[in-house]
């Protein structure tokens, strides 16, 4: 699931032509012998495509991104476990009830080394998973909130009014339903529809302003209409802005 979702995110992060489809990225792990090298390809793609420093306007620039030694270290440990476990099983796969004490000692010494490498591999895997998560999050934030400067003039206009829940909902509808020309002009037209205590992804500040920018599409599901809205959020502490989508079911 992690690999599938991570791989599916590659194109959403504006990186085109990964090596595999998300399905094959997972499926490759189950092909005997080939699954020795497949994890390396998958991790390289995940690592390179999540690089936040490449030109995000170029959908192919990620292919030239550097690969961390951590990825190779991770694969080397995996390869060692792959080979080591197979050889160990072939040599000592029989029950130890039939082994002499000397044979048990040699078998357990090898097992100890393999398990030790296994612990290191699992720790490195955890680090790699976290790194890829952070890189994908960073690149996503960079993609959706990069260029438009914050306009402080539209702050504080309607925060007081929004203490009334009904007004808030009306304004939400007003702001969300207009279909403006560009995002920039939409932002200028809209007022703050919500102010909330939420964590800023950039500075950990906890004062976020939300703007409903536009309603993008509606979907009818089980006799309910779901609207997908595009929002702009701004942090009052660091002035960062970002866009995000949400679904509202009526």
| Contact footprint for another protein (CB under 8 A) | 1-2, 5-6, 8-9, 11-14, 56-57, 96, 101-102, 104-105, 108-109, 111-112, 115-116, 118-119, 122-123, 125-126, 129-130, 132-133, 136-137, 140-141, 143-145, 201, 228, 230-231, 233, 242-247
- The smaller minimum CB distance to another protein, of residues 164 and 184, is found at 184
The helix (H) or strand (E) run that includes residue 222 is none
Let me know the angle formed at the C-alpha of 52 by 49 and 57, rounded to the nearest 5 degrees. 80
State the nearest-atom distance from the C-beta of 53 to another protein, in Å. 17
Task: Locate 18 and state its tokens.
Answer: 């990964």
State the nearest-atom distance from the C-beta of 58 to another protein, in Å. 9
In the chain the beta strands, taken as DSSP E runs, fall at: 194-196, 208-221, 224-235, 241-249
C-beta of residue 227 within 8 angstroms of C-beta of residue 237? no
- The smaller minimum CB distance to another protein, of residues 129 and 167, is found at 129
- The smaller minimum CB distance to another protein, of residues 62 and 243, is found at 243
State the nearest-atom distance from the C-beta of 14 to another protein, in Å. 6
C-beta of residue 63 within 8 angstroms of C-beta of residue 41? no
- The smaller minimum CB distance to another protein, of residues 169 and 216, is found at 216
φ/ψ bin of 149: left (φ > 0), alpha (ψ from -120 to 50), beta (otherwise) = beta
State the nearest-atom distance from the C-beta of 158 to another protein, in Å. 21
């Amino acid at each position: 699931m992690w690999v599938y979702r991570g791989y599916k995110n590659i194109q959403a992060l504006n990186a085109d032509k990964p090596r595999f489809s998300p399905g094959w990225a997972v499926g490759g792990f189950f092909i005997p012998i080939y699954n020795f090298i497949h994890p390396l390809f998958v991790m390289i793609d995940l690592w390179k495509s999540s690089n936040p420093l490449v030109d995000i306007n170029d959908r192919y620039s990620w292919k030239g991104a550097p690969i961390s030694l951590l990825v190779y270290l991770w694969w080397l440990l995996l390869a060692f476990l792959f080979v080591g476990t197979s050889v160990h099983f072939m040599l000592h796969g029989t029950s130890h009830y039939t082994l002499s004490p000397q044979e048990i000692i040699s078998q357990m010494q090898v097992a100890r080394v393999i398990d030790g490498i296994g612990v290191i591999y699992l720790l490195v895997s955890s680090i790699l998973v976290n790194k890829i998560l952070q890189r994908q999050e960073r690149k996503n934030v960079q993609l959706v909130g990069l260029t438009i400067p914050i306009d402080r003039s539209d702050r504080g206009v309607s925060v007081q009014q929004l203490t009334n829940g009904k007004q808030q909902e009306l304004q939400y509808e007003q702001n969300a339903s207009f279909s403006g020309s560009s995002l920039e002009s939409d932002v200028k037209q809209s007022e703050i529809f919500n102010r909330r205590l939420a964590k800023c992804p950039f500075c950990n500040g906890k004062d976020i302003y939300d703007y409903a920018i536009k309603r993008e599409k509606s979907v009818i599901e089980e006799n309910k209409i779901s609207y997908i809205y595009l929002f702009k959020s701004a942090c009052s502490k660091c002035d960062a802005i970002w866009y995000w989508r949400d679904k509202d079911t009526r």
